[in-house]
Amino acid sequence: MGMTMTQKILAAHAGLPSVKAGDLIEADLDLVLGNDITTPVAIREMGRLNDDSVFDKEKIALVMDHFTPNRDIKSAENCKCVREFAAAHDITNYYDVGKMGIEHALLPELGLTVAGDCIIGADSHTCTYGALGAFSTGVGSTDMAAGMATGKAWFKVPSAIKFNLKGQLKKWVSGKDVILHIIGMIGVDGALYQSMEFTGEGVKALSMDDRLTIANMAIEAGGKNGIFPVDEKTVAYMKEHSKREFKVYEADEDAEYTAVYDIDLSELESTVAFPHLPENTKTLSEIKNEDKVVIQQSVIGSCTNGRIQDLRQAAEILKGRQVHKDVRCIVIPGTQAIYLQAVEEGLVTDFVKAGAVVCAPTCGPCLGGHTGVLAAGERAISTTNRNFVGRMGHTDSEVYLSSQAVAAASAVAGYICGPEELGMD
């Protein structure tokens, strides 16, 4: 029996000719990632070792993004801990205020992740890098500590689900709508500990930003990882952003999948995940005849939708319009480079004139950290990736997940809707 893309990458990094679903392996790592929440725990675990040296200072990335600029004394102490560790071990890829970004937007932009890599990160959305044809997955801080010390991690080889994509997306429909549709279809445990492998002619019609968003949210369906084939767009992206060599793996013709889903992208609509799970999805057409979902906040950003394509589309909707008087619209570029590009293209001007606020790159409101925490009874439409109870603040608040287009249009209307309701074709 042949192997999937994920299985081939894992076999290569384990030094094995082949692997199959269920095998337990130890694999060499190309990158170990941590942030300001998870890294201090890993550092404490490393302190319990007789030798707390790192396996390769070039293959560790530490990104201060969740509570930065520091929200409070605790977050300041956490960042200080990581800062001192990075200095003591001469970590090359340490990113702090002024040079940082939301980790899963930053690392591909800096070229630290490429096709064929085996990557772990102490953050569940590390699966983002599968958009580039890498195997990447989230782990706990203890596994991060072991990875930093040894350059290795153990895995149970996952089985896989294939998603055959065809057609192309309609105007205002994006990668966020694709993954919300899929999660709504299979559920939050529909891909539990499986690789979500995206293939088919429809992949070519997806931008790299779309793919990064889709791979990012594989974990919201329970997936071990999400992964895309490497095509011309992928290669062009890697050549633009990275000087590293990459390796292309392709699934075998006879690779085994636990399920195969055919999805026509042209049939998809703008989709919203209602509280309190990403699987609780409805299309805009389905909620049109229901009572309007009035919102108090709109968040445009995060490691799913804080890239330049997302900001351009949001600005296209907000330009010349005004954010509803009862809505707080918060725009968060994914990285400093994206922020600067948004300034140079005039997008920030459009946001500010519309009545939105533009903040420094941070995870911030996504996890109820800062820069947009909700009070009891408040609702937010958000381009973030989770809407669990209390995710963005008070346990009696609600988060509705959507694309950047829906979040921007809703900010203007004051209730959840798409750009079409504003008269945009």
- Mean pLDDT across the chain: 95
pLDDT of residue 52: 78
Please give the share of the chain, as a percent, with pLDDT higher than 70.
Answer: 100
**Residue 344, pLDDT above cutoff 90:** yes
Does the 5-264 domain belong in CATH 3.40.50.300? no
pLDDT band at 291 (very low <50, low <70, confident <90, very high): confident
pLDDT of residue 120: 98
293, 287 contact by CB (below 8 A): yes
Which tens digits make up the pLDDT trace of 378-390? Answer: 999 999 999 998 9
DSSP characters over 9-58: HHHHHHT-S---TT-EEEEE-SEEEEETTTHHHHHHHHTTSS----S-TT
Quote the pTM value: 0.95
pLDDT of residue 288: 83
pLDDT of residue 126: 97
pLDDT of residue 214: 97
Of the listed ranges 144-158, 197-211, 277-291, 316-330, the least confidently predicted one is 277-291
Question: How far apart are the C-alpha atoms of 112 and 129, rounded to whole Å?
Answer: 10
Stretch 297-324: mean pLDDT: 96
Kindly report, as residue ranges, where domains of CATH 3.30.499.10 are found in the chain: 5-264, 270-422
Phi and psi for 43 in degrees, rounded to 5?
-65, -40
Q: Which residue has the higher pLDDT, 288 or 349?
A: 349
pLDDT of residue 230: 97
Stretch 218-241: mean pLDDT: 97
Label the pairing between strands 24-28 and 152-156. antiparallel
**Residue 123, pLDDT above cutoff 80:** yes
pLDDT of residue 290: 81
Stretch 18-43: mean pLDDT: 96
Stretch 17-42: mean pLDDT: 96
Q: How many CB atoms lie within 10 A of CB 28?
A: 15
**Residue 189, pLDDT above cutoff 90:** yes
277, 400 contact by CB (below 8 A): no
Stretch 11-38: mean pLDDT: 97
**Sheet with 297-301, edge to edge strand ranges:** 281-283, 271-273, 398-401, 379-382, 297-301, 328-332, 357-358
Report the b/e string of 315-353 with b at 16+ CB within 10 A: bbbbeebebbeebbbbbbbbbbbbbebbeeeebbebbee
pLDDT of residue 369: 87
Query: Which amino acid is located at 19 in the chain?
Result: V
Which tens digits make up the pLDDT trace of 35-91? Answer: 999 999 999 998 888 777 999 999 999 999 999 898 899 999 999 999 999 999 999
Q: How many H-runs (helices) and E-runs (strands) does the chain carry?
A: 14, 18
Stretch 180-195: mean pLDDT: 96
The architecture CATH gives domain 270-422: 2-Layer Sandwich (3.30)
pLDDT of residue 308: 96
Report residue 121 as tokens.
């990160």
Report residue 240 as tokens.
């633009």
Stretch 263-285: mean pLDDT: 96
